[in-house]
Amino acid sequence: MSNFLENSLQYIKGIGPKRAKLLAEELNILSVKDLIEYFPYKHEDRSTFYKINEIASSQAYIQTKGIITSMHTVGEGRKKRLVAELRDETGSLELVWFKGVSWQQKNLKLNKPYVVYGKPALFGSHYNIAHPEMELLTQTKKKMTGALQAYYNTTEKLKQHYVNSKILSDAIGGILQEHYKEIPETLPTYLLEKYRLMGRQQAIMNIHFPENIKKLNQATYRLKFEELFYIQLGILKDKFEQSQDTIGYPFPKVGNYLNDFYHNHLPFDLTNAQKRVLKEIRKDLGSGRQMNRLLQGDVGSGKTIVALLAMLIAADNGYQSCLMAPTEILATQHYEGLSEYLRETNINVALLTGSTKKKDRKVLHEKLQDGSIHILIGTHALLEDVVQFKNLGFTVIDEQHRFGVAQRSKLWNKNHRAPHVLVMSATPIPRTLAMTVYGDLDVSVIDELPPGRKPIETKHIFDKNRNKLYQFIQKEIEKGRQIYVVYPMIKESEKLDYENLESGFETLSKVFPAPKYQLTMVHGQMKAAEKETAMQEFVSGKSQILVATTVIEVGVNVPNASMMLIESADRFGLSQLHQLRGRVGRGSEQSYCILITSYKLSNDSRTRMETMVQTNDGFEIAEVDMKLRGPGDIHGTQQSGVPFNLKIAHLTKDTAIMQYVREIALKILSKDSELKLPENALIQKQLRLQKLQNVDWSMIS
C-alpha cells in the first residue's frame, strides 16, 4: 500500500499548514488521497489564444498572452483597485483587481510573459478584464497540462485565502508528478479488460491533466464506473446479507383495531396513493420477512395516517409499535395528533421525550413492559436501555436523516428479533432514482396530495418592495393567521447571518409592535430547552410571527400559519426552499410563500426562484435541483438527501452507467456472494475501505 496517499496536505508544496486546515474545514480534504480524488467540475479548452486586437466585446471567456508593462493602484481604502496594462504585438488591454490588491501587486511580475484568462468588457474604447486568471508562461510550459484545463470548485472562504482552482491544480500537479506511479489500482484486471476501462493511474492523471478529449472521456468514464460500481456492489451485498437473516414477525391478520378505526374513526377518505402504499406495507408485514421500507411523500401528503394504520395492524397481531421523531416538538405534535385520531378507540398511546418527568417515566416503563401501551411516540429518549417493551414489532422513523445507524441498531436490541421498520421521509428524490439509490430499502411513494388543498401561492420579490409586503402580512395577521420568517444560516458567514437575523427581528418588531403583535425568535445557538419554549409560543398561537433560521425546516406543523417568508432566498438550495414552503399550506386557507432576494442574482439562483414560483411538485423540484448541481457541488448530495457523496458521477445524468454497473455487480455477487474468490480479493478490500470511509447508505437501512 502506498503510504503517500495518507499523507497530510500541509507538507505539499503550495499548500502548507494554514491552507491545509482550510481545505479540511471547507471541503473535507484531509489527505493527499482526498486531494487527488477531488475531481474538477469542468475542463476548458485552452488551445486557442486570442491576439489582443482580435478581442470583440461579445466574447465570453478568452485566453490571451502578453507582457505586463505597467501596474498602478487607483483609489483608497475599500475602493482601492489595481490596474495593470497587458500588451502583445497587436495592442494592449487593462487588467483590474478589486480584491487582493496588495497580494497581486506583490506577486505579478513586470515584463514577463503571462497567459491571461478572463472575460473582457469594453470600457470606453478600451477592453479590460476584471480578476483574470494569470499564469507565467514559463510555468505553463513546464506543466504536464495540454490544452484542456481543469477547474475545481472552491468556497468563498477558500477564495478569500487565495485557494482557488489554480492553486489546487498546481498542488495536484506537483503530487502527481512525483507519485503518479504509486497510485494503486482499485478494480481487478479482469474487469478492466472485460469492460475496457482505463487503468487508475492513467485515469487520475487524465482527469486532472487531460492529454486530449478522448483520454479525458475515458478517464471520466472509468472513474464514474468505479464509483458507481462500488456503491451498487455495497448496496446489493447488504441486501443479500439482509435477506439471509431477516425473518420478521409475521403479522398475518387484520383485526378489530384496524377495522374499527378505518370504518368508524378515520376522519377522511384515504387518497389512492395512501391506499396503494398501505397495501404494499400490509403485504410486507404478512410475508414473514422483516420489512425495511422507505415511505416517501411530499410534505403534507399524509404519511402519518398511513403509519398509524400500519401500527394498528401491529396491534391487531399483538405487537407494540413505536414512532420516533427527531425533535421534541415533532414528537409532541405526533402524540397530540395521533391521540386525537384514536380518542374513541381502545388503543393506548404514550409520549416519551427528554422532558418526561421521572415519576411518569416509571409508570410508562411498567406499562410498556406489561403491554398495555400499544403505541409509544418519542424522541431519542426511546433508545435508552431502560426503555423495554413487552414485544416491539413495528417501528416508524419520521424524517430519517436525523437518525444514524448506531441509533437504529439500538432499537433492534430491544428484541430478539428486529422489528419491522418504516422510514418516513419528505426528501424528494426522483422516483427512478430512489430505487437505485436506496437499493437496500423498498420504497413506497405517496405521489398525491389529499383533495381540497389550495396550492401554495409562491412569489418572488425584491428587497426593495418590502413595504407592500408588510401591509400584506398585517392583513393576514388580522385574519388570525401566523407568519414564518426564515433567515439563512451558513457556517462560513455565521456572524453576519446572526446580525441579519437580529436586525431583521428588530425591524419587524418595530413594524409589528407589542403588545398588539407578538414576535418570537428561534435560532440554532439557543439551548434546546430555550428553543422548545420559544417554538411552543408560536405553535400555541401566542405569537403571530416566528423569526427563525432553518431550525424549523423539518416537520413542524402549525396549520394556522399561512405565510412563509424566506429572506435571502437565493442562499438556499431548492430542496431546502421546498421543505420550508411545506411548513405552510396545511390548513384550508390560502397560503403564501414569499421569496425575497436582492435584485442581483446568478443564473442558477434565478432558475431556483422561477422553479419555486412555477411548481409545487417536490419531485419536479428535485429533478431541477439535481440538474442544477454538478457532481462537484460541495453541499449537493448531502442536501438532496442521498446517503452518500459522489465524487464524480452524477445522480441523474449517469443513470445509464448506474444501471450498467448494477448488473455487473449482480453478476459478480451471484457467482461469488461473499467475494471470496481470489479474483475478487481486490473488490472485497476496496468495498471494506469504502465502507469505513465515506459511504453511509446504511443510514437508511
Tell me whether residue 203 or residue 306 sits nearer to ligand ADP (CB atom): 306
Written as nine digits, the cell of 108 is 505579478
8 Å CB contact between 14 and 171? yes
3-state secondary structure of 204: helix
Least distance from ligand ADP to the Cβ atom of residue 557, Å = 6
CA angle 116, 118, 121 (to 5 degrees): 120
Other Cβ atoms less than 10 A from the Cβ of 477: the count is 18
Min dist CB 455 to ligand ADP, Å, is 14
What is the Cα gyration radius of the chain? 29
Is the CB of residue 395 less than 8 Å from the CB of residue 322?
yes
Which amino acid is it at 697? Answer: W
C-alpha cell at 525: 445557538
Q: Which is nearer to ligand ADP, 190 or 268 (CB)?
A: 268
Which one, 150 or 449, has the nearer CB to ligand ADP? 449
Q: Are 551 and 488 in contact (CB under 8 A)?
A: no
The CA distance from 301 to 446, in Å, is 7
Burial of 451 (0-12, 13-18, 19+ CB in 10 A): exposed
Q: Which is nearer to ligand ADP, 231 or 306 (CB)?
A: 306
Read off the C-alpha cell for 338.
Answer: 395521533
Q: Nearest distance from residue 426's CB to ligand ADP, in Å?
A: 6
> Given the rule CB under 6 A, which residues bind ligand ADP?
268-271, 274, 297, 299-305, 426, 450, 557, 586
**C-beta of 614: minimal distance to ligand ADP in Å?**
22
What is the smallest separation between the CB atom of 307 and ligand ADP, expressed in angstroms?
Answer: 8
Q: Least separation, in Å, of the C-beta of 578 and ligand ADP?
A: 12
CA 328 to chain CA mean position, Å:
23
State which residue, 274 or 562, has the beta carbon closest to ligand ADP. 274
> Judged by CB, which is closer to ligand ADP: 220, or 296?
296
Contact 253, 316 (CB under 8 A): yes
CB of 271 to ligand ADP, least distance (A): 5
- Rounded to a whole number of angstroms, the minimum distance from the CB of residue 428 to ligand ADP is 12
Q: How many Cα atoms sit within 13 Å of 31 on the Cβ side?
A: 8
Nearer to ligand ADP, 45 or 340 (CB): 340
Q: How many residues are listed for the chain in this entry?
A: 701
Q: Which residues pair with 625 in a beta bridge?
A: none
> What span, in angstroms and rounded, lies between the C-alpha atoms of 519 and 542?
9
C-alpha cell at 482: 401566523
Q: Which helix (H) or strand (E) element contains residue 128?
A: strand 126-130
Nearer to ligand ADP by Cβ, of 175 and 311: the residue is: 311
Task: Report in angstroms how near the CB of residue 400 gets to ligand ADP at its nearest.
Answer: 13
Closest residue by Cα to residue 4 from 41, 46, 33, 47? 33
Sheet of 91-97: strand order equals 120-123, 126-130, 91-97, 81-88, 62-74, 113-118, 133-136
Nearest CB to ligand ADP, comparing residues 146 and 450: 450
371: left (phi over 0), alpha (psi -120 to 50) or beta: left
The answer to whether 583 touches 564, Cβ cutoff 8 Å, is yes
Distance CA 604, CA 628 (A): 7
In the complex, the smallest distance separating the C-beta of residue 427 from ligand ADP, rounded to whole angstroms, is 12
What string of DSSP letters covers 71-100? Answer: EEEESSGGG-EEEEEEEETTEEEEEEESSS
Nearest to ligand ADP of 173, 297 (CB atom): 297
Output the smallest distance, CB 337 to ligand ADP, in A.
Answer: 7
Nearest to 165 by CA among 262, 44, 286: 44
DSSP label of 402 = G
Which CB atom, from 399 or from 623, has the smaller least distance to ligand ADP?
Answer: 399
User: Given the complex with ligand ADP, which of 123 and 268 has the nearer CB atom?
Assistant: 268
Closer to ligand ADP by Cβ: residue 458 or 686: 458
Between 593 and 687, whose beta carbon lies closer to ligand ADP?
A: 593
Which of 312, 279, 472 shows the shortest CA–CA distance to 393? 312
Q: How far is the CB of 61 from ligand ADP (least distance, A)?
A: 45
Cis geometry, peptide bond prior to residue 188 (ω within 30 degrees of 0) = no
Instruction: Point out the residue whose Cβ comes nearest to ligand ADP.
Output: 302
**Residues facing residue 397 across a β-bridge:** 324, 423
Rounded distance between C-alpha atoms, residue 214 and residue 112, angstroms: 34
* Least Cβ distance, residue 300 to ligand ADP (angstroms): 5
CB of residue 299 to ligand ADP, shortest distance in Å? 4
